[in-house]
Amino acid sequence: MSGARSSTATGTTGTADARPCGRFAPTPSGPLHLGSLLAAAGSYLSARSQGGRWLLRIDDLDRDRCIPGMADQFVATLAEFGFEWDGNVEFQSNGSDFHAAALARLQQDGHCYACSCSRSRVAALAQDPDSEPVYPGTCRDDPRAGSGPHAIRFHIDPAQPPVEFEDAWQGTVRQDCAREAGDFVIRRRDGFAAYHLAVTVDDARQGVTEVVRGADLLASTPRQILLQRALGLPTPRYGHLPLLTEPDGRKLAKSRRALPLSAAAASPQLWEVLGWLEQEPPAALANAPIAGIWAWAFENWRPERLVGRRERRLTAPPGAPAA
């Protein structure tokens, strides 16, 4: 990152620390599972192998989804798995002032508008139940939309060229945001910042220079880049890790997704995840002490093996002993 890291109204800390900085930012809506461990390990190995910092942030803004006590459980579990983060654990809910300042700036610059559409009305616009609906801009020119309860949407200029970025592993990613994503919510009806705005502001204010996360978030990245540009924030480097899927390529079944991490099985679980990260850990390492597995992983980290890997098909139920 260059001089673009100056302090702004959005609270960019602009630290003089020139080291790369990665982060893991789970939502405390359920226990950490093997997919979480994959994202955590991938970002940890990437940042630390470059001599970088690595932060732990609890993305707890969506209060309806957060489970009390889950954040403490995350911290304990990650420590048991041998993760060491820099500084204190950050909570997204502590960043409300920064989110509000960013929203005010976007409003001032004419980047957004009030939307009074109900969730069900927007959901009904989706082509199929699995896809995200593309909001058609119903409230864009409706001055009455802001008089009652309303969300605030980011207005994508119809003339906006497709957003393009180089992903560390997924290559060139290109999205015509106006047509493929549509104007998106940046402040929810309940007054809290929506995901795209909060994550953009928090990554910037924490000085995050690389975002390594699951490929399920690949399609949301161009919208976050639009927000970075509108707010004058730097764009971090992105690396999207392969998504775990069923053997036939279908979305991972709920029962498998929910398989929690277990401190008692930390070594075999971390070992398995390293395999899914294409690192081919030796079999003898599967039950080694956790510190030994990490030492091997850092010494042998080969991120180039993930190039072009967008999904990882599982052969056996994760966490189950091999047949």
The contact set with Zn ion (CB under 5 A) reads: 115, 117, 138-139
Q: Which is nearer to Zn ion, 41 or 117 (CB)?
A: 117
The phi and psi torsions of 33 (rounded to 5 degrees) equal -125, -175
Q: Which is nearer to Zn ion, 96 or 138 (CB)?
A: 138
Q: Which is nearer to Zn ion, 133 or 234 (CB)?
A: 133
What is the DSSP track for 93-129? GGGHHHHHHHHHHHHHTT-EEEE---HHHHHTT-SST
Q: What is the smallest separation between the CB atom of 138 and Zn ion, expressed in angstroms? A: 4
Q: Where are the beta strands (DSSP E) in the chain?
A: 21-24, 53-58, 90-91, 112-115, 151-154, 163-167, 171-175, 184-187, 210-214, 237-241, 243-245, 311-313
**Which letter does DSSP use for residue 176 in this model?**
-
Q: What is the smallest separation between the CB atom of 196 and Zn ion, expressed in angstroms? A: 17
Burial string for 202-213 (b: 16+ CB within 10 Å, else e) reads bbbbbbbbbbbb
Q: What is the smallest separation between the CB atom of 236 and Zn ion, expressed in angstroms? A: 31
Q: What angle (nearest 5°) sits at the alpha carbon of residue 11, between those of residues 13 and 103?
A: 155
Q: What is the smallest separation between the CB atom of 137 and Zn ion, expressed in angstroms? A: 8
Q: Which is nearer to Zn ion, 84 or 190 (CB)?
A: 190
Q: Which is nearer to Zn ion, 107 or 138 (CB)?
A: 138
Q: What is the smallest separation between the CB atom of 162 and Zn ion, expressed in angstroms? A: 24
Q: Which is nearer to Zn ion, 136 or 171 (CB)?
A: 136
> 319 near 269, Cβ under 8 Å?
yes
Q: What is the smallest separation between the CB atom of 142 and Zn ion, expressed in angstroms? A: 8
Q: Which is nearer to Zn ion, 15 or 118 (CB)?
A: 118
Q: What is the smallest separation between the CB atom of 116 and Zn ion, expressed in angstroms? A: 6
d(CA 265, CA 261): 8
d(CA 262, CA 269): 8
β-partners of residue 171 are 167
